[in-house]
Amino acid sequence: MVAKRKPAGSLPAVGLATLLAAAGPEMGCADSLGPASVASSMPAETAITTPPRLTLAFDYSVMLQAARGSADNEASSGVARAYGQASLYGSPGGATGTLTYKVENRHRYGELAPQDLGFATGYAGLPATTFSDAGTLLTNFYWQHTAANNRWAAVVGIVDVTDYVDVYAFVNPWRDFSNLVFSTNPAIPSPNQGFGIAVRAMLGTNGYILGGIADGNGDPSDPFNSVGDFFNDPETFKHLEIGYVGSFDDRFTDNVHLTLWQSDALTDTGVPSGHGAALSASWQVSDRVTPFARVGFGNGGGALYDRSAAIGFGYATDRADDVIAVGLNWSRPNADSLGPGLDDQITFETYWRFSVADRFEITPDIQYVANPALAPTESDLWYLGLRLRASF
């Protein structure tokens, strides 16, 4: 996530840095490492099959959101993205090399962007993780190498660690849950996009291990400064994940994993060092239903919450690519980031994504928050949203 100004609401200085670290501005990922990838977003007819080949695609997303409570408010934002891949070498079953790139522009339509709506209304969270007014960003520019029929893969360059750290079946904020508590693990202080390296290897048929390191001060509005910071003045985020999948093809829907992380202190923003762990499980129990359960624990590091637990499920309708999902989260605000004495929050979200035309999706979204931490006189808040996405 990137914020150009402090969200309305009582957010201390460390909290702003925490908010910046809590969720990257885009949740896309290396196609072999996560489910919301550039490769997955590409129209099928433009997908790379044999090198050399250059592909380019576009999409435009809109989020309209309204808060209902004693502090009614409205927010709206649009995001234009251009993304693609350049495949330079490779053969089926052999080594492959691909450059992935994505540029986007995030802009608000009115006075408030949906990313800021939570803090503006007393909710210590983000009801729309990716819809901000951050301007023009370079969110992906990395090289990916795979080998042994994709049994191992490595990425290096401008990455977003939320692309591949603790991902699960409903991680894509452009098409799935909108709230931060479901679109990533909010107890992990994932840095903004910047220079990073990650490696993934399959262990036998069903196991895998994934590890990496990234610049803790990433900034996708000035991405290449992160390269110098990484090598000359390193303040980094490290992660290690080990998991079990039903099969390689179903590695994101049928996945159980443990993630460990450690982050250095960030000198410029005053964020303390930290460490923690997360456990996630999602498994498709029928052709239509995929339940999930996720927990996160953190000590320091500047995440938005230091404890988080979520359960829910997704239901695939009889229309291709249409999904109804429900999620319930409990979270404890991080005192180091948001101040002491805040109430625990309960967040509920449900959405229905459906297509009305080829490459055009509509997603009504309803969120309910009990005990909003920054509005102690409020018992609850509602967020009503409508997301539109057109791809080209």
Q: What is the per-residue pLDDT across 116-155, written as a single tens digit (0 to 9) for each?
A: 999 999 999 999 999 999 999 999 999 999 998 889 999 9
Beta carbons within 8 Å of 117's beta carbon, 6+ residues apart: 65, 67, 73, 75, 123, 127, 128, 383
Q: What percent of the chain has pLDDT over 70?
A: 86
Question: Mean pLDDT score of the chain, rounded to an integer?
Answer: 87
CB 83 within 8 Å of CB 102: yes
Q: What is the mean pLDDT of residues 234-255?
A: 94
Q: How far is CA 256 from CA 65, 108, 165, 240, 261, in A?
A: 33, 37, 13, 14, 17
Terminal CA-to-CA distance of the chain, rounded, Å?
A: 24
**Least confident piece of the model among 1-5, 46-50, 253-257:** 1-5
**Is residue 6 included in any domain, yes or no?**
no
| pLDDT beyond 60 at 388 | yes
Cα–Cα dist 131/122, whole Å? 18
- Nearest alpha-carbon partner for 125 in 181, 77, 87, 59: 181
Q: Collect all residues with Cβ–Cβ distance below 8 Å to 343 and sequence separation of at least 6.
A: 333, 371, 373, 376
CA–CA gap between residue 298 and residue 331 (Å, rounded): 12
Quote the CA–CA distance of 330 and 67 in Å, as a whole number. Answer: 20
Average pLDDT over residues 110-115: 95
Residue 39's pLDDT band (cuts 50, 70, 90): low
Contact 165/51 with Cβ under 8 angstroms?
A: no
Residue 357 in domain = yes
Name the band, by pLDDT with cuts 50, 70 and 90, for residue 172.
very high
Which residue range is the domain that position 76 belongs to?
A: 13-391
Strand partners, 281: 256, 293
Separation between Cα atoms, residue 290 and residue 295, nearest integer Å: 17
Task: Calculate mean pLDDT across residues 58-74.
Answer: 90
Task: Supply the pLDDT for residue 48.
Answer: 56
For the segment 279-292, the average pLDDT, to the nearest whole number, is 95
Which residue(s) pair with 30 in the sheet? none
Q: Is residue 5 part of a domain?
A: no
- Give me the CATH number covering residue 136: 2.40.160.10
Is the whole model's pTM more than 0.85, yes or no? yes
pLDDT for the residue 281: 97
User: Which residue matches tokens 């079953």?
Assistant: 93
Question: Is 4 inside a domain boundary?
Answer: no
Confidence of residue 69 (pLDDT cuts 50, 70, 90): confident
Residue closest to 164 by CA, chosen among 196, 121, 120 = 196
pLDDT interval class at 42 (50, 70, 90): low
Half-sphere exposure of 274 (CA within 13 A, CB side): 27
Confidence class for position 72, pLDDT limits 50, 70, 90: confident
* pLDDT beyond 50 at 309: yes
Mean pLDDT in residue range 35-57:
66
| pLDDT tens-digit readout, 325-357 | 999 999 999 999 999 999 999 999 999 999 998
Q: For residue range 14-38, what is the model confidence (pLDDT) as tens digits?
A: 322 222 233 333 333 334 456 555 6
Q: Is residue 1 part of a domain?
A: no
Q: How confident is the model at residue 375 (pLDDT cuts 50, 70, 90)?
A: very high
Structure tokens at 279: 């456990």
Q: Per the structure, how many domains does the chain have?
A: 1
The answer to whether the CB of 353 falls within 8 A of the CB of 322 is: yes
For 194-223, what is the mean pLDDT?
A: 96
- CA 329 from chain center: how many Å? 16
pLDDT of 5 higher than 60: no
- In this predicted structure, which of 86-95, 212-221, 227-236, 367-376 has the lowest mean pLDDT? 86-95
Residue 262 lies in a domain: yes
Does any domain span residue 336? yes
